[in-house]
Amino acid sequence: MIKFSKEVAAAIADKKSIVALESTIISHGLPRPRNLSVAQEVEAIVRATGAVPATIAILDGEIHVGLEANELDRIANEDGVVKASTRDLAILASTKKSAATTVAATAHIAAMAGISVFATGGLGGVHRGDGFDESADLRGLSVTPIIIVCAGVKSILNVEATLERLETLAVPVLGYKTNKFPGFYLTESGFEIEHRVDSPAEIAAIWNERAGVNTSDSAVIVTNPVKVELDRALHDTLLKNGLAEASTQHITGKAVTPFLLEYFHRVSEGKSLDVNVEIIKSNAKLAADIALAL
């Protein structure tokens, strides 16, 4: 069911360190043409650190772990690439459609392929408001053994409720050189993290201890705060107005996150986009360091 790129297939054969990368950020999170150049830069960062990048996507119904140059271009520029979670995989395989994979789907596929480390931007979570709107990322990470490096959950979400759900689902959360839970665009969200780690070696040690205490069925979340955050006053204004605009346009479900990200990028005149790009680059570097430590 999985097609490996030549680079990833060689890495598996040679037992090299591999880092999984999601594709939703390419097709739905960043505007063209910058999305392709950022995807290429992120892969280059992983390689320069000494690991092998494995960008994951669905092309014509087939799962790809690692993309050739022309395939990466398809995900970045082809119209009609949908956003796929784990529930969609069999449907896409049957209908031969192409899709970018969410955090949940990427983690699921990476674990299927035997990859232990995954870098993304921000996790999905519990949405704001009274309705029961929760990303499949949370349940997915509760049943998928993988280390996921992120900048916390997207600040457009209900961070407090998301942290409560992660605790209920028994998913461990580590702060990389911090005890403050990151807020994606912001270095901290106002919430604390109980467990802090200060090196990739510490993270690898925790990962390797899990089998012995029978807690190896879930993900381990490593939160890596952005180094230079978005101006907080600007962030709060964008969030307030973006949520109001989404409500006015009746944007719901999985369409909310890409709508708000695009709103942030457009109204901030690219400032939030620059932060978003730095997040994924930093997380890819740390994920590669962790993969090597493993």
pLDDT tens, residue order, the chain (294 aa): 899 999 999 999 999 999 999 999 999 889 899 999 999 999 999 999 999 999 999 999 999 999 999 999 999 999 999 999 999 999 999 999 999 999 999 999 999 999 999 999 999 999 877 667 888 999 999 999 999 999 999 888 899 999 999 999 999 999 999 999 999 999 999 999 999 999 999 999 999 999 999 999 999 999 999 999 999 999 999 999 999 999 899 988 778 878 888 899 999 999 999 999 999 999 999 999 999 999
CATH number where 186 lies: 3.40.1790.10
CA 131 to chain centre: 24
Domain assignment present for residue 56? The answer is yes
Is position 237 within any domain? no
Supply the residues annotated as catalytic: 22, 154
The closest alpha carbon to 59, from 73, 44, 47, belongs to 73
Q: Does 115 map to a domain?
A: yes
Domain that holds residue 220: 2-229+273-293
265's tokens: 């990028």
End-to-end CA distance of the chain: 26
Q: Which long-range contacts (CB under 8 A, 24 or more apart) does 85-91 make?
A: 85/136, 85/140, 85/254, 86/136, 86/140, 87/136, 89/58, 89/63
pLDDT at 211: 93
Largest CA distance in the chain: 53
Residue whose entry in the numeric block shows the structure tokens 């028994």: 170
Q: Are 118 and 149 in contact (CB under 8 A)?
A: yes
Cis peptide bond N-terminal to 33, omega within 30: yes
Would you say residue 135 lies in a domain? yes
Q: What pLDDT sits at residue 131?
A: 61
Q: What digits encode the pLDDT tens for the residues 221-249?
A: 999 999 999 999 999 999 999 999 998 99
Q: Any idea which residue has 């708000």 for tokens?
A: 260
* 265 belongs to a structural domain: no
Domain membership flag for residue 198? yes
Domain assignment present for 247: no
Q: How far apart are CA 142 and CA 125, in angstroms?
A: 12
The Cα 118–Cα 20 span in angstroms is: 4
- In the numeric block, the tokens 């006015």 are attached to 248
E-assigned strands of the chain? 2-4, 18-21, 52-59, 62-65, 82-84, 99-101, 117-119, 147-150, 173-176, 195-197, 220-223
Q: Is residue 268 part of a domain?
A: no
Contact 185, 228 (CB under 8 A): no
Answer yes or no: are the C-beta atoms of 146 and 107 closer than 8 Å: yes
Pull the structure tokens for residue 278: 């730095």
Q: Which residues of 87-108 are buried (b: 16+ CB within 10 A; e: fewer)?
A: ebbeebeeeebbbbbbbbbbbb
Q: How many domains does the chain have?
A: 1
